[in-house]
Chain A
């Protein structure tokens, strides 16, 4: 009995799934029609759909963040700002005209994503090549990013009036699920396939656990870390495109505001160690959905957007404390057992 219990609690996805179930249960008690889904004009509506819809950007960011955390044991805190940069580029290049875009839709989006990737590459250069602590390196874009975005927009909010721009952030006609969900799912699938079918996933874990050892067995750790940051930039770009499409505009000050904490939280909640090494993409995605569910239920309890960070900060501290090797040692010494063996990653 004890063994099976331990097996269940030791399962990597245990924490994220339990957290998700807890939040959903809480909501079910509070709002009875929480799970009700209605069909309107061939599309689905309901709390659950809304959560999955809103969680898409977060899941996309969490995928990038998971890889960054796994490879370099540090987090990329510039994701929100990079999203704002991407949104600004896209809105600037597509232009405010109601009938036509200034340039083809795809070109605009690609330009934006390119901007995101470039930002990611800059971070990657600083972290992989210059060996600067990831958070300090990304702090540069964290502050400068919004400034750059403001400069592109010339300090104003650029609206994209053409109707079709909204599709990416809302619904494709006649399709029951919102578009962002498909984007997130596709990105997750592609990432998963690439990591599983090639050795990249294993390389990332190896470097995250011990960078030196990884190098000694012949992995080009600099290149791998650089690539994870560039990929994280791409993910931020995609998320930024969706966010700007939702409001059909670019608001440099507010796009992706505070989302970096959510993304880190999603990764931590997904059972990934913030110390690098082993990672689970699925865990991070479940984590992202959990956080969105938490956000939605906090909004339902009339907590304003300004006040939300308090609760999330507390959750982060609790999770990080639970992950801490020192804390586990302390707990097990309280129980009079010998200390739990610290995971390789930590």
Chain B
């Protein structure tokens, strides 16, 4: 359906000036974004109709999309940035696992105060990002290989710290994790006459702040514009006088920071550290970015799109949990299928573009 729609609209190019003007505004970048937003609305709407009796339409269900995916939002934002430069980072899943494990170990066995532990973890993320960034930007190694090695390194390091599951029982940490922010104006009364006030956790607030900050950085700062320029065409960016290497390096450092911040939010959600934590998370982050309209070839992307990517993933997950009989493996498979679909869509757009030229 969507493919046909895209083909039709793009072949209409020789029509009136109006169409041309609209076409100028809606180029391939926005097509993908619009498809994503529509898809989310349709999916969620369908959910509200199909599972109306199971509480899909309640405001809390919608807020849960954010509550369950706060860590993923932050990670996906970082991934979007890296992908705009034309690179990729598949180490984020294991960085998240390692972050949770480090937090849990430091707080449980070394009595490190919660805030100090979080700080240490974030510094580690920055350091890890710098090493990867150096290898990729300055030694020009393939991002995939470097971050694949990074992925296995972090996973192994997690196992070295502890191969058992550690539950976090630090009082301060749990306080942050369980503080609820209520939305009284969305209150509903359930069947028993009890008033239910929807709430979110602080992690959601942090995630949304990160989203807004990175959105502004990408849109209005010199660094943000440089990221797009480098991803669009590295050669031209270099000839324009941009420092391609340091831009790439900074992106990976920032991504390392965001990955570990994502890990902290993830830990706030799960309150535990174990070896398998966050496995396959890189895939979800990449899928969210791609679904949200970030091109794999670089140069095009938007963190708002990635947010919708995350929400779509969250919706699929709640479909599967609400439905009840499907195994959780279906989430992965459906996400992979969606990713494949959007990748193919991108490739079709690219081929249309090169034919028009």
| A residues with CB within 8 A of B | 74-75, 77, 126, 130-133, 135-137, 139-144, 146-148, 150-151, 155, 258, 260-261, 264, 274-275, 304, 306-314, 316-317, 320-321, 324-327
Contact = CB atoms under 8 A, between A and B. Distances in A.
Interface stretch (B36-44, B68-76, B140-148, B169-177): B140-148
A131 B141 CA distance: 21
B163 A314 contact: no
Given A136-B286, A142-B283, A150-B327, A308 B156 contact: yes
A75 B144 contact: yes
Interface stretch (B226-234, B303-311, B340-348): B340-348
Determine which residue in A126, A146, A309 has the highest number of CB atoms from chain B within 10 A of its CB, and name it. A309
Interface string B117-158: 000000000000000000100111110111011111101111
Contacts of B96: none
Interface stretch (B216-224, B262-270, B329-337): B329-337
B144 A310 contact: no
Contact of B90 (A74, A139, A307): A139
Determine which residue in A74, A133, A137, A260 has the highest number of CB atoms from chain B within 10 A of its CB, and name it. A133
Interface in B278-304: 280, 283, 286, 296
B240 interface: no
Contacts of B253: none
Given A261-B149, A310-B152, 4 more contacts: A132-B296, A132-B347, A137-B343, A144-B333
Contact of A133 (B141, B163, B296, B350): B296
Nearest to A148: B333
B204 interface: no
Contact of A143 (B139, B156, B280, B347): B280
Contacts of B141: 320-321, 324
Contacts of B286: 136, 139
Interface of B: 88, 90, 135, 138-142, 144-146, 148-153, 155-160, 163, 275, 280, 283, 286, 296, 327, 329-330, 332-333, 335-337, 339-340, 343-344, 347, 350
Nearest to A305: B159
Contact of B159 (A135, A264, A307): A307
B145 A136 contact: no
Nearest to A253: B276
B135 A135 contact: no
Given A144-B337, A307-B160, A130 B329 contact: no
A140 B144 contact: no
A142 B139 CA distance: 27
A316 B327 contact: no
B153 A126 contact: no
Q: Which 5 A-B pairs have the closest CB atoms?
A: A306-B159, A310-B156, A309-B152, A144-B336, A313-B153
Contact of A147 (B135, B152, B330, B339): B330
Given A325-B140, A326-B140, A258 B330 contact: no
Contacts of A258: 152
Given A136-B296, A143-B336, A147-B332, A312 B152 contact: yes
Determine which residue in A140, A148, A258, A326 has the highest number of CB atoms from chain B within 10 A of its CB, and name it. A140
A140 B336 contact: yes
Given A132-B296, A151-B329, A304-B163, A309 B156 contact: yes
Contacts of A141: 336
A264 B145 contact: yes
A307 B163 CA distance: 9
Contacts of B332: 143-144, 146-147
Given A77-B148, A309-B153, A313-B153, A126 B159 contact: no
A132 B290 CA distance: 12
Nearest to A323: B141
A306 B283 contact: no
A151 B327 contact: yes
Nearest to B163: A306
A326 to B, nearest CB: 5
Nearest to B333: A147
Nearest to A321: B139
Contact of B283 (A143, A313, A320): A143
B157 A310 contact: yes
A258 B279 CA distance: 12
Contact of A155 (B146, B158, B327, B340): B327
B74 to A, nearest CB: 20
Contact of B160 (A132, A135, A310, A326): A310
A131 B347 contact: yes
A327 B135 CA distance: 10
Contacts of A131: 347, 350
Given A139-B286, A306-B159, A274 B336 contact: no
A274 B142 CA distance: 9
A77 B151 CA distance: 13
Contacts of A136: 88, 286, 296, 343
Nearest to A325: B140
A316 to B, nearest CB: 4
B140 A324 contact: yes
A320 B147 CA distance: 12
Contacts of B339: 139-140
Nearest to B83: A136
A310 B160 CA distance: 9
Given A137-B343, A307-B159, A261 B139 contact: no
Nearest to B161: A307
Contacts of B347: 130-132
A321 B336 CA distance: 32
A310 B148 contact: no
A86 B150 CA distance: 28
A320 B152 contact: no
Nearest to B346: A132
A122 to B, nearest CB: 9
A309 B140 contact: no
Contacts of A150: 327, 329
A327 B141 CA distance: 10
